[in-house]
Amino acid sequence: MKLKPLGDRVIVKVLDAEEKTSGGIVLPDSAKEKPQQAEVVAVGKGKTLESGTVETPDVKVGDKILFGKYSGTEVNTGGTDYLILRTDDIMAIVS
């Protein structure tokens, strides 16, 4: 990957949305919700606090995360779509 996140930013690859409901109904593209789950691809060094110390992010490369529905900035590099998020936009790590 040619992107390196700065500060408290994280680059993620969004995982595909579900194509079927739990009842087995196939959803058309227009009815699918925007996916909120992703895999962390790169992590910045962390947020620099006013005291000068660096707060390292809680996530690491390979973690699966949940993020806010309309969070981040979409980028495309090498034909692959990525999302750049701030660590504050990450709500949970999926285990």
- Tell me which fold the domain 9-21+29-94 belongs to: 10 Kd Chaperonin, Protein Cpn10; Chain O (2.30.33)
The tens digit of pLDDT for each residue in 5-27 reads 999 999 999 887 656 556 766 65
Would you give the DSSP letter of residue 35? Answer: P
The tens digit of pLDDT for each residue in 40-95 reads 999 999 999 999 999 999 999 999 999 988 889 999 988 889 999 999 999 999 98
The residue extents of the domains of the chain are 9-21+29-94
